[in-house]
Amino acid sequence: MNLNSNLKDILPNFPRRQILKTALTFVTGGSTTSLVSFLMPKSTKPAQAIVVQRPNEFELEGKSTQIKYSILNGVSQLDYTTQNIKQHFSGEQIQTLDTDIGTLLTVIISKPPNPDIGGNLVKLSFLLPIINLAIGKKETSLLTEAILTTQKTSGFIRTPLFGQLQSYQTLALTGTARYR
């Protein structure tokens, strides 16, 4: 192995090569070949980009609840179905918040029947984890959580409310994430 050619690859400036050669010789007691080989790149091929695709359709279910969420042509769509409810949401009706733990999606399931006197506001929120699909792989399974939040509201009359104003019901969801 030619030490000078290896050092030339590491440092193009000759005085710096000499300093490195001297330092390596001093550190290793005269043998710089193995340390220089260690410092050399293992491959001269350019790095290859790894391409992934993100799912744009999610089908989730748990405890007689089904949620289907998709983003097609830039428009968000969400279908929420239980034994008693079947609702469809789209666009700005779906709040999204990117967080460190995934994307939090929230929709309003029900509002008080009379906003003047208040009542219960029910929201569905669920997390979509970050998922990367290899090119050619169209789907993968997923586990996540949903939260139904029931919030007491005072309405427009502004009657003060006391105590805990929100209660939560959690729901484990399983399903499939797809790229279409």
What one-character DSSP code corresponds to residue 156? T
pTM of the model: 0.69
Quick one: pLDDT at residue 155?
A: 78
Q: How far apart are CA 169 and CA 69, in angstroms?
A: 20
SS3 9: helix
Quick count: other Cβ atoms within 10 Å of Cβ 17?
18
At 85-121, the pLDDT tens digits run 999 999 999 999 999 999 999 999 999 888 778 889 9
Q: What is the pLDDT of residue 160?
A: 83
Give 20's pLDDT tier (boundaries 50, 70, 90): low
Question: What's the gap between Cα 50 and its chain centre?
Answer: 18
pLDDT recorded at residue 104: 98
DSSP assigned state of 30: S
Examine the pLDDT at 27 and tell me if it is beyond 80.
no
Q: Any idea where the domains of the chain sit in the sequence?
A: 3-39, 52-178
